[in-house]
Amino acid sequence: MNTTVAQTNHQIRLARRPVGLPTRADWSFTAEPVAPPEAEGVLVKTLALSLDPAMRGWMNEGKSYIAPVAIDEVMRAVGIGVVIASDTAKFAVGDRVSGALGVQEYARFAAKQIARGELVRIDLHLGTLTQWLNVLGMPGMTGYFGLMDVGQPKAGETVVVSGAAGAVGQTVGQLARIKGCRAVGIAGGPAKCEWVVNELGFDACIDYKAGPIKDGLKAHCPKGVDIYFDNVGGEILDAVLTRINRHARIIICGAISQYNNTEAVKGPANYLSLLVNRARMEGIVVFDYAERFPAAIAELAGYLKDGRMKSREDIVAGIDTFPDTLLRLFRGENFGKLVLQVAQA
């Protein structure tokens, strides 16, 4: 079942552990011949990769929710690809698939990886290829289960989400609206804030670059904050803590403001607001909900279809741009879900 494949697989590997923001020197560019699939395996051609804040964490040593990327290993990245050679009846050439392809042009999946469900067929009737890296992908799943399972929103509550124009934030705010909540975003700059309100339909969006977050929260959350979905940590988390309601839920999804710190992480100094308000702060790791992804994807695809949910992807072409493109996340330069296009679909 093999078709002709290109000869060379260009890859980007982690050359050393970065201190602060990753630089070009933290990466190595390698090329190796493309090998055919192993027995009962497949060969996938990478089409697009998801660039996510979490990638910064994977580059650090030490215990986390997932093993760090090893030095000289191909950088981990979730992506969408097309099966170009298959030795298993489970996948056919031409199938669109999603999995941890890595930052490389071709990825092989062995039989045992396939058995573990590490490669999933995607249905382009439910969403576009890049939506499968966004609302229907890990960011969407993170937003969905973080909000619904950890946050447990009730109609009429106020939901605040930071990184509102980012991949997770888009899903959280729009889903909050669909569930009958007031959705207030936090994003950087007027363009993002306008888009979040006018295009995505959030009730309000606070521009953290324009002035103190506290004032924005006061103005746009007149009944306080019931749920805060935190993608950024740092001062914004501390500001929201001063505005939470009784029994508020704070979902700790990420802390992009802290990922490239060369100093110690800044803990939330206002955490005793949890005590005063009998509130809780809880972490989410999306992988825990894998069994329920299909149901969540079906629900979100329905919202995409009926227009209640929109998505925006910020697509940059060329695998070689990876080191610089990744930095756009940490500079807040991406507008929508950041996608690295590796090949034409």
Per CB under 8 A, residues contacting a copy of itself are 63-65, 233, 238, 252-255, 258, 264-285, 288
Whether 228 contacts 244, CB under 8 Å? yes
What is the C-alpha separation between 176 and 196, in angstroms, rounded? 13
Q: How near is the Cβ of 295 to a copy of itself at its closest, in Å?
A: 20
Considering the complex, state which of residue 176 and residue 255 has its C-beta at the smaller distance from a copy of itself: 255
Which is it for strands 182-187 and 204-207: parallel, antiparallel or unpaired?
Answer: parallel
C-beta of 63: minimal distance to a copy of itself in Å?
A: 7
Query: In the complex, what is the shortest distance from the CB of residue 6 to a copy of itself, in angstroms, rounded to a whole number?
Result: 39
Nearer to a copy of itself, 18 or 57 (CB): 57
**CA–CA separation, 100 and 79 (whole Å):** 6
Q: Which residues contact 117 (CB under 8 A, 6 or more apart)?
A: 290
- CB 126, CB 67: distance < 8 Å: no
Residue with Cβ nearer a copy of itself (40 or 149): 149
Shortest reach from residue 9's CB to a copy of itself, in Å: 32
Give the torsion sign (CA, 137, 139, 140, 146).
Answer: positive
The CB density around residue 335, as the number of other CB atoms within 10 Å, is 18
- CB closer to a copy of itself, 84 vs 253: 253
Considering the complex, state which of residue 30 and residue 258 has its C-beta at the smaller distance from a copy of itself: 258
Identity of the residue, 158 or 273, whose beta carbon is nearer to a copy of itself in the bound complex: 273
Q: Which residues contact 270 (CB under 8 A, 6 or more apart)?
A: 238, 241, 242
The DSSP bridge pattern shows strands 158-162 and 225-230 to be: parallel
Minimal distance in Å, beta carbon 249 to a copy of itself? 9
Nearer to a copy of itself, 17 or 112 (CB): 17
Taking the complex as a whole, the smallest distance from the CB of residue 289 to a copy of itself amounts, in Å, to 10
Nearer to a copy of itself, 154 or 280 (CB): 280
Q: Beta-carbon neighbour count of residue 331 at 10 Å?
A: 10
Query: Token pair for residue 208?
Result: 């953290």
Least Å from the CB of residue 233 to a copy of itself? 8
Segments of 16-95 assigned E as strands = 27-33, 42-50, 79-86
The DSSP-derived string for 176-218 is: HHHTT-EEEEEESSHHHHHHHHHTT--SEEEETTTS-HHHHHH
Shortest distance in whole angstroms from residue 258 CB to a copy of itself: 7
Helix (H) or strand (E) holding 325: helix 322-330
Please tell me what DSSP assigns to residue 40.
T
Task: Output the smallest distance, CB 230 to a copy of itself, in A.
Answer: 9
The pair of three-digit structure tokens given for residue 322, joined into one six-digit string: 């990876």
Q: Which helix (H) or strand (E) holds 297?
A: helix 293-305
> For residues 189 and 224, which CB has a smaller minimum distance to a copy of itself in the complex?
224
